[in-house]
A and B are shown apart, each in its own frame.
Chain A
C-alpha cells in the first residue's frame, strides 16, 4: 500500500511546477498550460484522498474540476485569439492596455 503522503507530495510538486510556469513564462498559451498542470495536481490530491478515505466525494469533485477546466480552456483560448487578432501582443507582459 503506497502511503497517502506520497500522493500528496507528488501533487505538491506538480502544483508548484505549474505555479512556477505561470510566474516565469512569457507566452500566453504556455501560461494556460501551466494552469492545467495545477488543476491536474489538485485532481491527484482529490482522488488520492477519495481512495484512502473510501468516499466517493473526492472523485465527484475531480470530475467537476475537469468540466470547469474544459470551460476555462475554451474561454481562455478565445480571449487569446481576440488579443492576437487585435495585433496587441503574444506575450503576457506586453498586454498593458487594461491597466486599471
Chain B
C-alpha cells in the first residue's frame, strides 16, 4: 500500500514539474505547480511529517502560489510565440547529463549517519507537532528569531519596491 502511495505521489509530482517548465501559458504552469506542491505534501505524510504537510499546503499552495497567480493576472502577460531561449537544446542536454550522473551517484551511495532521538515510537506517543514545537523553541530558538527578522525585512523590501514612485510635480505641490 505504501509503495503504491509513494509511486503515485512521486510520478504525479515529476509529471507536474515537467509540465510546469514545459507548458506555454503561464497560468497553466501555475496550475501544474499547484499539483506539484500538493503531491509533495502527500509525500510528507508518508514520511511522518504531518506538521510540514500542513505548512506546505497553507504556506506554499495557499499563500505563495496565490501571490504568483495574482501577479500573473495583474501583469496580464500574453502567451508568447517564443517561450524558450534560442539555444535551449544545450541547456536541456547539460541538465539531462547532470541528472544521469546524479542518479548513478544516488543509487551507489551507502546511506548512513548518527541516529537521533525522534524515533517513530516517540513521535507516535507525543505527536509530531509536539516534537517539532519543543525542538523549535529549544534548540532552534535563535534561528527562529532570525527568520522573524528576515521576514520583516522582506515585507519592508517588498512594500518599498512595489510602492508607486511619486512624480516630481506632485512632490512640489505637496511642499507648497
Contacts and interface: CB of A to CB of B under 8 A. Distances in A.
A40 B63 CA distance: 15
Interface of B: 2-3, 6, 10, 13-14, 17-18, 20-21, 26, 29-30, 33, 36-37, 40, 43-44, 46-49, 51-52, 55-56, 59-60, 63-64, 67-68, 71-72, 74-75, 77, 80, 82-85, 88, 91-92, 94-96, 98-99, 102-103, 106-107, 109, 111, 113-120, 131-132, 135-136, 139-140, 143, 147, 150-151, 153-155, 157-158, 161-162
Given A20-B21, A40-B36, A33 B30 contact: yes
B102 A16 contact: yes
14 contacts: A12-B106, A16-B96, A24-B92, A33-B20, A43-B52, A50-B118, A54-B117, A57-B116, A60-B140, A62-B52, A63-B136, A68-B150, A73-B67, A81-B75
A60 B68 contact: no
A16 B102 CA distance: 9
Interface of A: 2, 4-10, 12-14, 16-21, 23-27, 29-30, 32-34, 36-37, 40, 43-44, 47-57, 59-60, 62-64, 66-75, 77-82, 84, 90-91, 93
A34 B20 contact: yes
B44 A37 contact: no
A47 B85 contact: no
B21 A25 contact: yes
